[in-house]
Amino acid sequence: MWTSLSKKYYLFLMIIFAIGIILGFIFLIYLDESSKDLIFLNINDWLQNLENTNINNIISHILILSSLFILSLFIVGLPLVLFFPFYNGFSLGFTLMTLIDIFGIKGLLYGLIYIIITKGLFLFFSFIFIISLLKINILVFKRIFHSQKISKDNLSLLLKRSLICIAIILLGDIIIYFGGAKLITLFNFLLI
C-alpha cells in the first residue's frame, strides 16, 4: 500500500510538472517580439559569458527548500509544495523553447544537455523531497482534522528523508558551482 500510494503521488507530480513544461512552451509563443528580442539578447550574453562564470543555485535552493520544509509542517505549505514542480516544469519548458526558437534542433540538444547537467540531480531529488513533504502534510492534516495519532517513526523517517534530499541537492549544487559551467561549455559547439 505504501509504494502504490507513492506511485500515485509521483504520477500526480509528473502531471503537474508536464503541465508546467507545456505552459512554458506556450508562454514563449505568446510573448511579443520586443520581449522575445530581449530574452534572445540575454541568452546570447549568457552563452558568451558562461565560460567565465559559475552556476550558483546554492543560496536559492537553501531558501526555497528550507521554506518548503518548514511550511510543510503546516497545512498552508501544501499549495506551495504543489506549485514547486509546476514552477520547475514551466522554467524548463520556457528555457527549452527559447533555445529551440533561437538555435533550432541544436538548441534542443544543447538545452537537454544543460538540463541534465544542471538540473538532473536537483529534479530527481526534489521529487523525492516533495513526496516526503506531501506525506508530512497528510500526516499533519490527519492529526489536526481527524485527531489521528501521528506515528513518530513514520514522521521521523519522512523528516530524515527530506533533510537527506536537501543535503544531496546542495552537494550537487556545490559540484555544479565548481565544474558545471566548464562542463556545459564543452557542448557549445552545438550552437555554432
CA dist., res. 128 & res. 65, Å (int):
12
Q: Region 175-184: what's the mean pLDDT?
A: 85
Question: Is the confidence at residue 83, as pLDDT, over 80?
Answer: yes
Long-range contacts of residues 142-145, Cβ cutoff 8 Å, at least 24 apart: 144/75
C-alpha cell at 108: 534542443
> How many residues appear in the chain?
192
Mean pLDDT of the chain: 87
132 within domain boundaries:
yes
The pLDDT-based confidence of 162 (bands split at 50, 70, 90) is: very high
82 within domain boundaries:
yes
The pLDDT-based confidence of 84 (bands split at 50, 70, 90) is: very high
Q: Region 129-133: what's the mean pLDDT?
A: 92
DSSP secondary structure letters along 32-53: -HHHHHHHHHHHHHHHHHGGGS
Q: Region 84-95: what's the mean pLDDT?
A: 95
Question: Is the confidence at residue 4, as pLDDT, over 70?
Answer: no
Q: Region 81-100: what's the mean pLDDT?
A: 94
129 within domain boundaries:
yes
41 within domain boundaries:
no
The pLDDT-based confidence of 186 (bands split at 50, 70, 90) is: confident
The pLDDT-based confidence of 94 (bands split at 50, 70, 90) is: very high
50 within domain boundaries:
no
44 within domain boundaries:
no
- Write out the residue range of the structural domain in which residue 66 sits: 2-30+56-191
43 within domain boundaries:
no
C-alpha cell at 18: 508536464
Question: Is the confidence at residue 179, as pLDDT, over 80?
Answer: yes
Return phi, psi of residue 94, to 5°: -65, -45
Number of domains in the chain: 1
Q: Which residue has the cell 503546516?
A: 74
DSSP secondary structure letters along 177-189: HHHHHHHHHTTGG
- Is 153 or 86 the better-scoring residue by pLDDT? 86
138 within domain boundaries:
yes
Furthest-apart CA atoms within the chain: distance in Å: 62
CA quadruple 87, 88, 91, 92: dihedral positive or negative?
negative
The pLDDT-based confidence of 1 (bands split at 50, 70, 90) is: very low
Question: Is the confidence at residue 2, as pLDDT, over 60?
Answer: no
| Tens-place pLDDT, residues 118-127 | 899 999 999 9
C-alpha cell at 111: 538545452
| Tens-place pLDDT, residues 10-60 | 999 999 999 999 999 999 888 888 988 898 888 888 888 877 777 888 999
